């Protein structure tokens, strides 16, 4: 029910549904095109991008970041994108060096619905600041769901004693 798909440049699907699982697509220059609907159901998580795991100073849970990647992921959905029942979409941006360029792209032709205690987490590049761009036909976000980028901006720097790192506190 869970897995990691690596080492591809482009995947094309008619539809994509994930229920009660975790699927991660890490890698550079990765593009996923879904001609119809993408559905994340029942506590599912879809991670796009990310090549390194950063944890807190105590070794606790952390996040994947595109620390070395220059080209972040692209998800193109020709239908609707639905997150429901405590599901999550996490998109990890790559570095950018061009003004106005996105570090990752999520494009949804139809309705992008985030409902039922579900969350979208756009993660900016940790050292470059490249961010995720969303292009959607229509957006619905329920009051118990949303977009959350807390602590998912710049990684921060080292204090003088270098014993602890500072987390990124950018606006996301």
- Give me 140's structure tokens: 């619905």
β-pairing verdict for 52-55 and 104-114: unpaired
pLDDT above 50 for 169:
no
Q: Are 75 and 112 in contact (CB under 8 A)?
A: no
pLDDT above 60 for 91:
yes
Question: Once rounded to an integer, what is the mean pLDDT over residues 1-25?
Answer: 83
State pTM to two decimals. Answer: 0.82
Half-sphere exposure of 19 (CA within 13 A, CB side): 1
- Output the pLDDT for position 170: 45
- Output the pLDDT for position 156: 58
pLDDT above 80 for 74:
yes
pLDDT in tens, 123-154: 888 777 788 999 999 999 999 999 998 767 76
Confidence of residue 168 (pLDDT cuts 50, 70, 90): very low
Asked which of 14-18, 68-72, 109-113 is least confident by mean pLDDT, the reply is: 68-72
pLDDT above 90 for 37:
yes
């Amino acid at each position: 029910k869970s897995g990691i798909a690596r080492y591809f440049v482009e995947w094309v699907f008619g539809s994509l549904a994930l229920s009660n699982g975790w699927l991660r697509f890490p890698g550079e220059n990765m593009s996923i095109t879904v001609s119809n609907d993408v559905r994340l159901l029942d506590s599912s998580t879809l991670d796009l991008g990310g090549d390194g795991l950063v944890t807190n100073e105590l070794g606790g849970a952390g996040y994947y970041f595109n620390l070395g990647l220059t080209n972040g992921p692209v998800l193109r959905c020709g239908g609707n994108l639905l997150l429901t029942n405590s599901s999550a979409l996490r998109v990890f941006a790559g570095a950018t060096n061009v003004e106005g360029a996105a570090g990752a792209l999520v494009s949804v032709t139809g309705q992008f619905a985030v409902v039922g205690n579900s969350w979208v987490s756009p993660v900016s590049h940790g050292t470059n600041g490249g961010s995720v761009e969303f292009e959607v036909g229509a957006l619905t976000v329920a009051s118990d769901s949303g977009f959350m980028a807390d602590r998912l901006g710049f990684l921060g720097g080292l204090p003088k004693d270098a014993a602890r790192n500072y987390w990124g506190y950018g606006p996301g």
